[in-house]
């Protein structure tokens, strides 16, 4: 049995009482947290397993990002200053269409590396149209916790070569779900991923909603209500706004994750609430594409599930939960006042709320006995952060001031992925060199 004992300065538990513990240790057996308590010096000395002396570090739960496109990491910086439909038509669809297996593998590794170095241990990925098995294989090799699924596109007026038949999309998704759902000791789960209303037939959306029910614990993951022009097009096609349309075809429930939810009318807020739909809020992407600002305080007030995601590297241009947390807080304050989106609320969105949105609220998202040891050690004792050791100040430090450079170590289910701020998985020079070469070949194929 593999055992570990972490002795941190403090533990930000994110449990129901928001406990912050000083002088307590976390014991891990076979990837599960088995105790969170004080250990005597004797117990520590006689502990049979790895003892991690982290007296200057703060232990937090691993971050959860509920909307990511690993296949786009290679395209970072190549699609700036565009709005959604142009961004898709001129850059992102042509680039995704040009992926072969090796360019996709390179993109996925770059993304996973960045996410882990930044303390993100669980993601929901949107996948891509072709070679989806490559994404699953790299997720499995890395050991991160992930929901992923083949991105489904069966109509595409923006870039017609980037689509497949409805039958192909449904059959391939079903086969992939059969193969990968529950893999890697349950760390991999399937997230059915129709891209968005404008690239999916009604048949595809309805059948996908049905198929999702065949795989317990899987998700229905799509984009919605991101951009005003997108909504005008949806209205032309279906005579309804985006969420209203999804509701009318019966694909909304507690297993649905909708990325964005910016342009949402009052009726649609009721739908989100009644159907217990999860919103993945992506503030950087929403600002950079000029899409707008989702009314997150209103959603939270209504009890709607909200979590955070960086979206893809070319609309951000980071996959950095610290940027998303900081922006999620700051962009609301001009509208709702400085009390809106306090640091503790935002930290919960990035941890336990993300876990709950994925249906993993009992497994991850907090530091509690019985949960999987998806954990992050942060160095918050630097001269660049607040000098106050007041309990509530910890959230302020993490959300408003800290960043990826404060991440010391990261583990997923008890296995170290990052130590001393260095990846244990990838050689960064090799990642960079392969990425450069794959990108230049891909651009020649476009
Ligand atoms: Zn997206």
**Which tens digits make up the pLDDT trace of 55-72?**
999 999 999 999 999 999
pLDDT of residue 195: 98
Residue 416 host element (H or E): strand 415-419
Query: Is the predicted pLDDT of residue 17 greater than 80, yes or no?
Result: yes
- Tell me how far apart the alpha carbons of residues 351 and 311 are, in angstroms, rounded to a whole number: 16
Span from the CA of 163 to the centroid of ligand 1 (angstroms): 17
Span from the CA of 428 to the centroid of ligand 1 (angstroms): 26
Span from the CA of 286 to the centroid of ligand 1 (angstroms): 10
- Tell me how far apart the alpha carbons of residues 21 and 34 are, in angstroms, rounded to a whole number: 16
Query: Is the predicted pLDDT of residue 14 greater than 90, yes or no?
Result: yes
Compute the average pLDDT of residues 384-409: 95
* 350-393 pLDDT, tens digit each: 999 999 999 999 999 999 999 999 999 999 999 999 999 888 89
Q: What angle do CA 161, 166, 170 make, to 5 degrees?
A: 120
Span from the CA of 42 to the centroid of ligand 1 (angstroms): 51
Span from the CA of 41 to the centroid of ligand 1 (angstroms): 49
- Token duo for residue 85: 């439909």
8-state DSSP, 311: B
Query: Is the predicted pLDDT of residue 341 greater than 80, yes or no?
Result: yes
- Token duo for residue 163: 């689509």
Enumerate the H helices of 98-201 as residue ranges: 101-117, 132-142, 166-180
164 touches 100 (CB < 8 A):
no
Span from the CA of 16 to the centroid of ligand 1 (angstroms): 30
- Tell me how far apart the alpha carbons of residues 8 and 5 are, in angstroms, rounded to a whole number: 10
Span from the CA of 196 to the centroid of ligand 1 (angstroms): 9
Residue 59 host element (H or E): strand 50-61
- Tell me how far apart the alpha carbons of residues 367 and 344 are, in angstroms, rounded to a whole number: 15
pLDDT of residue 392: 80
Span from the CA of 266 to the centroid of ligand 1 (angstroms): 24
Query: Is the predicted pLDDT of residue 231 greater than 90, yes or no?
Result: yes
Span from the CA of 192 to the centroid of ligand 1 (angstroms): 14
Percent of the chain scored above 70 by pLDDT? Answer: 100
Span from the CA of 270 to the centroid of ligand 1 (angstroms): 23
Q: Can you give the length of the chain in residues? A: 446
* C-alpha distance from residue 7 to each of 23, 26, 155, 295, 437 (Å): 8, 7, 54, 40, 43
pLDDT of residue 298: 98
- Tell me how far apart the alpha carbons of residues 346 and 325 are, in angstroms, rounded to a whole number: 6
Span from the CA of 15 to the centroid of ligand 1 (angstroms): 29
Span from the CA of 243 to the centroid of ligand 1 (angstroms): 16
Span from the CA of 437 to the centroid of ligand 1 (angstroms): 25
Compute the average pLDDT of residues 339-349: 97
Compute the average pLDDT of residues 125-137: 98
* 56-115 pLDDT, tens digit each: 999 999 999 999 999 999 999 999 999 999 999 999 999 999 999 999 999 999 999 999
Q: Bridge partners of 221?
A: 257
- Tell me how far apart the alpha carbons of residues 51 and 35 are, in angstroms, rounded to a whole number: 14
CB atoms under 10 Å from CB of 41, counted, come to 7
Mean pLDDT (the chain) is 97
Span from the CA of 258 to the centroid of ligand 1 (angstroms): 10
Span from the CA of 287 to the centroid of ligand 1 (angstroms): 13
pLDDT of residue 389: 87
Query: Is the predicted pLDDT of residue 1 greater than 80, yes or no?
Result: no
Compute the average pLDDT of residues 198-226: 98
With tokens 């939270």, the residue in question is 300
Span from the CA of 195 to the centroid of ligand 1 (angstroms): 8
pLDDT of residue 44: 97
- Nearest Cα to 109, choosing from 376, 421, 341, 423? 423
Enumerate the H helices of 281-331 as residue ranges: 283-288, 296-301, 321-330
pLDDT of residue 96: 98
pLDDT of residue 177: 98
- The pLDDT-based confidence of 154 (bands split at 50, 70, 90) is very high
Span from the CA of 375 to the centroid of ligand 1 (angstroms): 26
pLDDT of residue 391: 83
Span from the CA of 68 to the centroid of ligand 1 (angstroms): 6
Compute the average pLDDT of residues 406-429: 98
Residue 325's φ and ψ, nearest 5 degrees, are: -65, -50
Span from the CA of 125 to the centroid of ligand 1 (angstroms): 9
* 247-287 pLDDT, tens digit each: 999 999 999 999 999 999 999 999 999 999 999 999 999 99
Residue 4 host element (H or E): strand 3-12
């Amino acid at each position: 049995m593999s055992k570990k004992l972490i002795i941190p300065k403090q533990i930000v538990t994110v449990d129901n009482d928001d406990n912050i513990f000083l002088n307590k240790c976390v014991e891990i057996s076979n990837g599960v947290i088995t105790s969170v308590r004080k250990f005597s010096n004797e117990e520590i000395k006689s502990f049979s397993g790895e003892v991690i002396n982290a007296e200057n570090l703060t232990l937090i739960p691993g971050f959860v990002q509920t909307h990511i496109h690993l296949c786009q990491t290679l395209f970072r910086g190549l699609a700036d200053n565009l709005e959604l439909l142009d961004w898709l038509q001129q850059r992102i669809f042509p680039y995704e269409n040009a992926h072969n297996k090796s360019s996709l593998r390179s993109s996925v590794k770059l993304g996973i590396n960045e996410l882990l170095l930044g303390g993100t241990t669980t993601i929901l990925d949107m996948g891509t149209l072709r070679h989806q098995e490559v994404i699953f294989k790299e997720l499995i090799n890395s050991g991160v916790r992930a929901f992923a699924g083949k991105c489904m596109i069966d109509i595409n007026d923006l870039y017609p070569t980037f689509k497949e038949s409805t039958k192909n999309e449904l059959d391939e998704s079903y086969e992939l779900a059969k193969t990968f759902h529950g893999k890697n000791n349950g760390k991999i789960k399937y997230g059915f991923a129709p891209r968005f209303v404008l690239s999916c037939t009604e048949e595809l959306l309805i059948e996908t909603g049905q198929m999702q029910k065949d795989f317990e614990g899987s998700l229905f993951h799509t984009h919605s209500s991101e951009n005003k022009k997108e909504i005008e097009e949806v209205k032309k096609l279906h005579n309804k706004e985006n969420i209203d349309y999804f509701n009318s075809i019966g694909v909304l429930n507690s297993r649905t994750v909708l990325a964005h939810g910016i342009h949402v009318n009052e009726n649609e807020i009721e739908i989100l609430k009644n159907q217990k739909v999860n919103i993945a809020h992506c503030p950087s992407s929403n600002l950079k594409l000029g899409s707008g600002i989702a009314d997150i305080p209103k959603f939270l007030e209504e009890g709607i599930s909200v979590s955070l995601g960086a979206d893809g590297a070319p609309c951000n241009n980071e996959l950095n939960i610290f940027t998303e947390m900081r922006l999620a807080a700051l962009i609301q304050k001009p509208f709702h006042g400085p009390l809106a989106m306090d640091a503790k609320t935002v930290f919960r969105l990035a941890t336990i709320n993300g876990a709950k949105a994925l249906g993993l609220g009992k497994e991850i998202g907090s530091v509690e006995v019985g949960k999987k040891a998806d954990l992050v050690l942060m160095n918050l004792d630097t001269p660049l952060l607040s000098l106050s050791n007041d309990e509530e100040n910890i959230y302020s430090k993490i959300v408003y001031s800290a960043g990826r450079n404060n991440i010391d170590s990261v583990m997923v289910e008890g296995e170290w992925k990052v130590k001393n701020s260095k990846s244990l998985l990838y050689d960064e020079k090799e990642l960079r060199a392969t990425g450069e070469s794959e990108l230049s070949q891909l651009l020649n194929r476009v």
